[in-house]
Structure 1
Amino acid sequence: MKLENYEVHLPNYSIGSKIYDKIGPVCESYGKKVLVIGGEKALAAAYDKICRYVEQTNLTIIGKVLYGQNCTYETVEKLRRMPLYQEADMVFGVGGGKALDTVKCLCISDDKPVFAFPTIASNCSACTSVSIMYNEDGSFLKPHFFVRPVMHSFIDTEIIAKAPSQYMWAGIGDTYAKYYEATISSRGERLEHFTALGAAVSVMCRDPLLEFGPKAYEDHKKGLCTYDVEQVVLAIVVTTGLASIFLTKDFTPDYNSGLAHAIFYSMTSYPVIEERHLHGEVVAFGVLLTLLADQQYEEFEKVYQLNKAVGLPVSLEEIEITQEQWEECMDRIPDMSDVAHYPYKITRNMLEEAMSRLKERVKKDHEEE
């Protein structure tokens, strides 16, 4: 341990159904000309509402642009060459993770003010200081870290509540994974202040989901903007972003990933995962095996019951992975970077035992039905 000179920039955000009325007070000091960049569905959901509130300010929207198809460096460069981008004083990024990550990579790298308008609650892109970059063929490339997140995130719960519910559904799984992976990865270590903060904050990635998750998901499916929905949105978008900023301050995934993500990435070689399943959905399944491997049986039962309540997977069949494919995954997982920094070595025997216990738990449910 040594004294360091370092900086940490945390996210600013507004949340609620009418928080676009904060656009003027928050954004006007950064200039006047606004370029809106986002995904097609996201712009259809949010652009008109953004415009109505911008009309009440001294800001002027000079253009609306689709971000592209994926968060790639090629897409970023294409947007950077646009005259409208050069003219704009600031950018409003509208959409889900890939759209927001693209706009972050574009603007933060150029030191151009950028504001996030998330339209789904599946990830923490609106509040964290990293963009997940992909290759042009859609395959994962690398995380691109920044020194800060966006200037401000406007989290409109009314718009999010009307989005397809499967995004929040998957977001629940990816969010509670943050707590379990961070606390296991940091176990028994003397942590730097920022890492310890991240691990401590991560408990709020779990607790609200256990308490509010099932009701929030039911409300979301009805398009309702309720207190339960808001609490889950905060956990997915804000708390996970805060935890990630602290846990990745040294630009490594050591404390920000773990066995659940290793399980997910080991399965991405099978097309069915990318084509028919969501990231957080598969990670949620991985958390069950993570807790069994770690012998956290009480925590396993909590997550198992939550998964059952909201329909997240508890079996290989639900994510369409065969036993033969799982056998192949078990050979890959112990050598994956996500478990390189772990309090113990992940072994094939450990994974076999965890899967056996999970199957027994599912079998018990079926026998009781």
Structure 2
Amino acid sequence: MDNIIISPSKYIQGEGSLDNIGKYVSVFGKKPLAIADDFVMGLVRDRTETSIVGEGLEVNFNTFAGECSRVEIERLITVSAEQGNDVIIGVGGGKTLDTAKAVAYYSKVPVVIVPTIASTDAPTSALAVIYTPEGEFSEYLLFPSNPNMVIMDTGIIAAAPVRTLVAGMGDALSTYFEARANGLSGKATMAGGAPTRSAQALAKLCYETLIADGVKAKAAVENGVSTKAVENIIEANTYLSGIGFESSGLAAAHAIHNGLTKLEECHHLLHGEKVAFGTLTQLVLENAPQAEIEQVLNFCRSVGLPTNLHQMGVKELNNEKLMEVAQASCAEGETIHNMPFPITAKAVYAAILTAHKIGI
């Protein structure tokens, strides 16, 4: 198996970088379609339009309906084709960005990704997570290449709700542990081969950055300011986690996240909040050292990530429903089968209950 690492063609991070989007997009096309939800549209439309029109380009805007589903992707493909757009810009959170990537892929045009929050590692990946219109996990959509460009305006991201940055830390928290498990199993990564040493190093650096700067970054954004710690966490949540997971592998944590979408009580949670609990469950599943579990628990508590099912909205444990979560986590093709030992729904069910108890 070949060693493979993949990444966006260009990653840009800096305060005020959105004001340069026209210059950056102009190398890809002359008539971009910018996709954003209602809130984000109100937040960035004027700056985006000013920059793009200032470069002599024509831009169209369309409002994202809120779920990265096949229905929404098809709708936007039709809109883009009718308008003759030659580049897609996704502005907002993970589901908006994944939708933009899918629309660009099927339309055979470049895509520029502009996160307004650092809540997931979705921006850099050649992957979209597709949900049903009702919000349940449906499938992974794999693309032949990563986004053409990712633009991170840290001024916008630092001003976003604190919960989104913390959720990004929850998503990034799994990167090192899933990479480690995938490396031990020798299974192919999302990049289609064995991990490179550089990808594994980025996954480890991601975890180290979270432990070093997570609490400091949260304190800064709670006060509406950006610091070096905030810059570091934005990079960890997005680039380090993105390259780390994609080129080093996913394992149990994200599969358990997907299983948790079966619980209606968890639908209000952000992706990374569920992944954080999935990480704790993975550590229990692999019988990780207690000191390691304690470090992860302490980190989650220090930044406000959930460590048990009650904190996730599950008031009463229903064993039948939790077994459904475990079974969904073990579905054929799920990344949990990248763990370095055989997986059963019974074992996952036991790990979920144990992680819950430890995390209370």
TM-score range, shorter chain: 0.7 to 0.9
Question: What corresponds to 1:204 in structure 2?
Answer: 205
Alignment deviations for residues 13-38 of structure 1 (CA, whole Å, 9 cap, x no partner): 11111223443443222232232221
Question: What corresponds to 2:18 in structure 1?
Answer: 20
The 3 A distance-change label for structure 1 pair 361 and 174 is: closer
The 3 A distance-change label for structure 1 pair 60 and 42 is: same
**Alpha carbons 2:251, 2:339 under 8 Å: kept:** no
* CA distance in 1 between partners of 2:86 and 2:348 (Å): 54
2:171 aligned with 1:174: yes
3-state DSSP class of the match of 1:60? coil
* CA distance in 2 between partners of 1:82 and 1:15 (Å): 30
* CA distance in 1 between partners of 2:304 and 2:55 (Å): 43
Normalised to the residue count of structure 2, the TM-score between the two structures is: 0.86
Question: What corresponds to 2:155 in structure 1?
Answer: 158
Q: Structure 2 residue aligned with 1:278, among 247, 259, 270? A: 270
**Alpha carbons 2:28, 2:87 under 8 Å: kept:** yes
**Alpha carbons 2:7, 2:124 under 8 Å: kept:** no
* CA distance in 1 between partners of 2:204 and 2:288 (Å): 19
Alignment of 1:1-369 (within 5 A): 1=1, 8=6, 10-61=8-59, 63-82=60-79, 86-187=83-184, 189=186, 192-194=193-195, 197-247=198-248, 255-258=249-252, 260-274=253-267, 276-293=268-285, 294-321=287-314, 324-325=317-318, 328-329=321-322, 333=326, 335-336=330-331, 337-346=334-343, 348=346, 352=350, 356=354, 359=357, 362=360
User: Which moved further from structure 2: 197-206 or 11-20?
Assistant: 197-206
**Alpha carbons 2:154, 2:231 under 8 Å: kept:** yes
Larger Rg: 1
The CA deviation at 1:158 is 1.0
- Root-mean-square deviation (CA, aligned residues, Å) is 2.9
**Alpha carbons 1:16, 1:157 under 8 Å: kept:** yes
User: Which moved further from structure 2: 191-200 or 116-125?
Assistant: 191-200
The 3 A distance-change label for structure 1 pair 353 and 18 is: closer
User: Which moved further from structure 2: 291-300 or 342-351?
Assistant: 342-351
3-state DSSP class of the match of 2:152? strand
User: Which moved further from structure 2: 130-139 or 353-362?
Assistant: 353-362
**Alpha carbons 1:90, 1:112 under 8 Å: kept:** yes
The CA deviation at 1:68 is 2.0
3-state DSSP class of the match of 2:120? coil
* CA distance in 2 between partners of 1:71 and 1:353 (Å): 30
The 3 A distance-change label for structure 1 pair 49 and 190 is: closer
The CA deviation at 1:321 is 2.8
**Alpha carbons 1:285, 1:313 under 8 Å: kept:** yes
**Alpha carbons 1:36, 1:93 under 8 Å: kept:** yes
**Alpha carbons 1:36, 1:94 under 8 Å: kept:** yes
The 3 A distance-change label for structure 1 pair 38 and 357 is: closer
Q: Percent identity?
A: 27
User: Which moved further from structure 2: 145-154 or 195-204?
Assistant: 195-204
1:228 maps to a residue whose letter is A
- List alignment gaps of at least 5 residues for structure 2: none
Alignment deviations for residues 303-342 of structure 1 (CA, whole Å, 9 cap, x no partner): 1111111111223321233564257535763744342232
* CA distance in 2 between partners of 1:10 and 1:203 (Å): 20
The CA deviation at 1:286 is 2.7
Greater than 4 Å deviation, 4+ residue runs: 6-9, 190-193, 346-358
* CA distance in 1 between partners of 2:80 and 2:258 (Å): 39
1:227 maps to a residue whose letter is K
3-state DSSP class of the match of 1:154? strand
The 3 A distance-change label for structure 1 pair 344 and 106 is: same
The 3 A distance-change label for structure 1 pair 345 and 188 is: closer
The 3 A distance-change label for structure 1 pair 9 and 269 is: closer
Alignment deviations for residues 112-148 of structure 1 (CA, whole Å, 9 cap, x no partner): 1221111111112221111111223332221111111
Report how many aligned residue pairs link the two structures. Answer: 350
The CA deviation at 1:60 is 3.1
**Alpha carbons 1:171, 1:280 under 8 Å: kept:** yes
